[in-house]
Amino acid sequence: MAWTLVVPLKPLSRAKSRLADAAGDDLRPGLALAFAQDTVGAALACRAVRGVTVVTDDPLAARELSALGARILPDPPGGGLNAALAQGALAVRQQLPTAAVAALNADLPALRPTELEQVLEAASAFPRAFLADAAGVGTTLLAAAPGVELSPAFGGPSRARHRASGAREIRLRGVDSVRRDVDTGEDLRAALALGVGPHTLRHPFPGLPQPPVPSPQN
């Protein structure tokens, strides 16, 4: 099954406020963009992915992610994260009515295409399915088969909400890069240990060990 991913990204000036202790306010916007670039680049390199739609109103992010091959949609005003995802899924299916759609976080800088492929393959067995984040509280991916509404409920303890909504939880080992979203300095340390993508790798991390040069993503 070929998937179209929807990736939400808030304006870079407001992104990743909880990273201020690790990166500083002056570095946060660039780091949020780098996370998104590495996420989108890895997703587009995944064999199970036919395309990526990014929902954002940030002009710099729109330009840079479009250059990678993503489709850009404006963020619905005042709607929030789940409205952006619902709008993105609707736009995808207006073009491809039988598309399998998955929402993916924009802050997965260590994402590996092969691990994402494993998660999407597992998701294809269910009408709706989700992958919990590394903390076991939130969600990094929510998938909906053709003809099934995405019905996103991201934010905070979304793992419990997605489970309660009837989505099946994907339980796989060895897909740490798909679970490792980055909100805090500790999350960033964990992502660096996994090996981040080339855009994140270019950034300095004051107060943190410098990341090793990763092996090529596959």
3-state secondary structure of 116: helix
Structure tokens at 134: 């590394």
Mean pLDDT of the chain: 91
pLDDT at 109: 97
Instruction: Answer yes or no: is 207 within a domain.
Output: no
Instruction: Answer yes or no: is 187 within a domain.
Output: yes
Q: How far apart are CA 173 and CA 115, in angstroms?
A: 10
pLDDT at 174: 97
Q: Which residues lie closer than 8 Å to 79 by C-beta, 6 or more apart?
A: 87
Instruction: Answer yes or no: is 121 within a domain.
Output: yes
Instruction: Answer yes or no: is 118 within a domain.
Output: yes
- Say whether 158 counts as a known binding-site residue: yes
| pLDDT tens for each residue of 91-115 | 999 999 999 999 999 999 999 999 9
pLDDT at 176: 98
How many domains would you assign to the chain?
Answer: 1
Range of the domain at 155: 3-202
CA angle 171, 45, 8 (to 5 degrees): 70
Instruction: Answer yes or no: is 110 within a domain.
Output: yes
Q: Report the CATH number at residue 32.
A: 3.90.550.10
Percent of the chain with pLDDT over 90: 78
Q: Which residues lie closer than 8 Å to 174 by C-beta, 6 or more apart?
A: 115, 118
- Say whether 139 counts as a known binding-site residue: yes
The residues with which 144 forms a beta bridge, in sequence order, are 101, 128
Surface-to-core class of residue 171, CB atoms within 10 Å of its CB (0-12 exposed, 13-18 middle, 19+ buried): exposed
What pTM, to 2 d.p., does this model score? 0.92
pLDDT at 78: 76
Instruction: Answer yes or no: is 216 within a domain.
Output: no
Q: Which of 163, 99, 112 is nearest to 137 (CA)?
A: 163
Q: Which residue has the tokens 């003809």?
A: 147
Instruction: State the CB neighbour count (10 A cutoff) for residue 149.
Output: 13
Structure tokens at 53: 């739609």
Helices and strands in the chain, H and E counts: 9, 7
3-state secondary structure of 108: coil
Instruction: Answer yes or no: is 47 within a domain.
Output: yes
Instruction: Answer yes or no: is 210 within a domain.
Output: no
Residues of the chain short of pLDDT 50, as ranges, are 216
Establish how many alpha carbons lie within 13 A of residue 173's alpha carbon, considering only the half-sphere containing its beta carbon.
0
Q: How far apart are CA 113 and CA 214, in angstroms?
A: 14
E strand or H helix at 49: strand 49-55
| pLDDT tens for each residue of 135-151 | 999 999 999 999 999 99
- Say whether 78 counts as a known binding-site residue: no
